[in-house]
Amino acid sequence: MPDHGTGTGPDQQPAAEESGRDRLRAALKSPVSRGQVTVGALLAVVGFASVVQVQSNDRDDNFDGARQQDLIVLLDSLAAASQRAENDIADLERARSSLRNDADNSNLALEQARLQADVLSVLAGTVPAVGPGVVVTVRDPTGGVGIDQLLNGLQELRDAGAEAIEINNTVRVVASTSLADGEGGVVVDDQQLAAPYTIEAIGDPHTLSQALDFTGGFTDEVEGESVGGAVEVSEVENVEVATVREPNEPEYAEPTGEE
């Protein structure tokens, strides 16, 4: 008769295997508990720490087996590299300082050139000017004031340091200004002017005033009996010289290019 008991015959093994698969499948399908999540996280952390420790040990082993001479050579190479880096940094800092100095020098030279150009423009009469000075009024009731007297007055003002001079708010007086006698007055740079003549000059007011008032000077000459004119000099804090001249291009002279 066949055995109907619960022995361990061949027919029982498939059932046991099937039962194990069922239990694994059921475990995987069952809801995950908080404890299982915690255990899984701890296992992951432990695994990561183990990997890092192994890698660290591998790196340390690279130096553990090195000879003392090799380590000295390595340290020397690192020191040399560090020194080169410091030298490069120092070179860059010196280059930066040099560029800053060059920029400062260029700005200073440019500012000085601008100031010089402003001064020359005022002296050449190509720009308006304002500043302290004197206003000289020359009256000529007898018609005796001519180019001789005016030239002397202008020259005395220049010698006293006048930086800008204007006559009758019409003509800017510069180094090349010419005067000639005209009908009913004088001709200054081709401009017909008539008395009274108003000369405005920018400079030190007291110095300019004294330059016209010395014995035998401009005022004495104009007010003398032979001329019969009158001179009034006013020292003022603000003289405006508004007229300008167009710069003349030199026909023959050229700059040499030397500083």
Judge whether residue 7 has pLDDT over 50.
Answer: no
Return the CATH number of the domain spanning residue range 130-241.
3.30.70.1880
The predicted pLDDT at position 44 comes to 56
Whether 42 and 50 have beta carbons less than 8 Å apart is answered as: no
Residue 28's pLDDT band (cuts 50, 70, 90): low
Q: Is the pLDDT of residue 105 over 70?
A: yes
What is the rounded CA–CA span in Å between residue 165 and residue 162?
A: 7
pLDDT mean over 94-120:
80
Which DSSP state fits 234? E
Residue 40 pLDDT level (bands cut at 50, 70, 90): low
pLDDT of residue 16: 47
Q: What is the pLDDT of residue 25?
A: 60
Query: Which residues lie below 8 Å from residue 207, measured CB to CB, with a gap of 6+?
Result: 160, 161
Note the residue count of the chain. 259
How sure is the predictor about 30, in pLDDT bands with cuts at 50, 70 and 90?
Answer: low
- Name the residue among 251, 226, 236, 249 with its Cα closest to residue 200: 236
Average pLDDT, integer, range 102-131: 84
Mean pLDDT over the full length of the chain: 78
pLDDT for residue 138 is more than 80: yes
Q: In this predicted structure, what is the pLDDT of residue 133? A: 97
pLDDT tens-digit map of 156-202: 999 999 999 999 999 999 988 999 988 888 999 999 999 999 999 99
Measured between its terminal Cα atoms, the distance across the chain in Å is: 135
Lookup result for tokens 């009469």: 125
Residue matched to tokens 């694994």: 24
Of the candidates 192, 195, 191, 203, the one whose C-alpha atom is nearest the C-alpha of residue 241 is 203
Say what the alpha-carbon torsion angle 74, 76, 78, 79 is, to the nearest 10 degrees: 160
Q: What is the mean pLDDT of residues 225-252?
A: 90
SS3 153: helix
Average pLDDT over residues 131-136: 97
104 vs 203, residue with greater confidence? 203
11 against 119, higher pLDDT: 119
Q: Which residue has the tokens 């008032």?
A: 213
Residue-range domain boundaries for the chain: 32-65, 71-124, 130-241
Top mean-pLDDT range of 1-5, 120-124, 186-190? 186-190
pLDDT computed for residue 140 by the predictor: 94
Contacts of 195 (CB under 8 A, 6+ apart): 138, 139, 140, 143, 145, 185
Q: What pLDDT sits at residue 115?
A: 80
DSSP string spanning 9-73?
Answer: -GGGHHHHHHHHHHHHHHHHHSPPPHHHHHHHHHHHHHHHHHHHHHHHHHHHHHHHTS-HHHHHH
pLDDT of residue 63: 53
Mean pLDDT of 228-249: 92
pLDDT at 122 over 90: no
Higher pLDDT, 156 or 8: 156
Share of the chain above pLDDT 90, in %: 39
Res 9 pLDDT > 50? no
What letters, b where the CB count within 10 A reaches 16 and e where it falls short, cover 161-174?
A: ebbbbbbbeebbbe
